[in-house]
Amino acid sequence: MNDRMREILSWYGSDNPGTLTNLARLLQAGRLSGTGRLLILPVDQGFEHGPARSFAPNPPAYDPRYHYRLAIETGCSAFAAPLGLLEAGARDYAGEIPLILKLNGHDALGSEDEPTQAIYASVDDALRLGCVGIGYTIYPGSARRLEMYDRLRDLAREAKARGLFVVVWSYPRGGGLTKDEETAIDVIAYAAHIAAELGAHVIKVKVPTANVAQPDAQKVYQRDKIPLTTLADRVRHVVQAAFNGRRIVIFSGGATKSRDEDVLTEVRAIRDGGGFGSIIGRNAFQRSEPHAKKLLTGIAKILARQSTGD
């Protein structure tokens, strides 16, 4: 336990020793142990986008055990997935990597302007599988967002009482937002702050663009000259929005990028902007196994460095 880890844990002073222990397990796992940064492999895309869209580019990825091995062998901080996928390998790989159970999900079989998510797992399931935390998605911007916030309140209360930490996927979406506005800097910063206010220990958001979606926010950004030019600037602002950096904010890898360097450039900006790391799914498991291992190893090396310019 080093000073940086003690500092991060001190931000969660209302939590019980069990929850703090599981946060420490997360921060001490894998290649980034003790750095205060995280590299997490999430595999909920099969439910969210469909199996062929998710796994056909790399057929071994249809097997849940493939993802366990990939996360373990590349030294990821944790492996996050829905109930069935975790159940398919939890016994075989028990104790080898921290697990995060995703409790809810949304399929791609219908058209919804105002999406919501179904809860398909429980805190009891997370404990049964030996998880260190739970994951939950909210859609700030959806007309059904308040239902999701209400459900998160109850699940987070139960998880914390039983020693688990809470990861919130905060993904702006809904009829009031265009596709471009979903990743606008003001919207992403707002989504991060909402997740922090809802009690998240770890907040997952998308990488923000320089677009400012809300007219009232635009006036403030211009008046106060908030730097938005570089991705590192925008990451810094999102982290600031999460209690001035006193909550762990990690950034999604998003849709698959064909060039490794595009992924690594984003990761450098996340690090340089004070982000706590990356949660990389499709950009890892849609590549061949040797390619994915090389990329994840490269990401971990970048996040492990404290200085810029590499």
221 pLDDT above the threshold of 60 = yes
| Region 128-143 average pLDDT | 97
The answer to whether position 294 is within a domain reads yes
User: Does residue 308 form part of some domain?
Assistant: no
Q: What is the model's pLDDT at position 113?
A: 87
Q: Is residue 166 part of a domain?
A: yes
Is the confidence at residue 138, as pLDDT, over 90? yes
Residue 309: inside a domain: no
Mean pLDDT of the residues in the chain: 96
Query: Is there a contact between 288 and 241 (Cβ–Cβ < 8 Å)?
Result: no
Q: Is residue 310 part of a domain?
A: no
Residue 8: φ, ψ to 5°: -60, -45
- Least-confidence region, from 71-80, 174-183, 252-261: 252-261
In CATH, what number is assigned to the domain containing residue 235?
A: 3.20.20.70
Q: Is residue 148 part of a domain?
A: yes
The number of domains in the chain is: 1
Domain that holds residue 250: 3-303
Coil vs helix vs strand at 89: coil
Judge whether 112 and 145 are in contact, CB under 8 Å. no
Residue 308 has pLDDT above 70, yes or no: no
Position 254 confidence tier, pLDDT thresholds 50, 70, 90 = confident
Q: Is residue 248 within 8 Å of 100, Cβ to Cβ?
A: no
Residue 14 falls inside a structural domain: yes
Average pLDDT on 103-109 reads: 94
- Active site annotation includes 102: no
Answer yes or no: are the C-beta atoms of 168 and 197 closer than 8 Å.
no
* 69 within some domain: yes
As a whole number of angstroms, the distance between CA 74 and CA 85 comes to 19
Instruction: Find the catalytic residue in 102, 160, 179, 204.
Output: 204
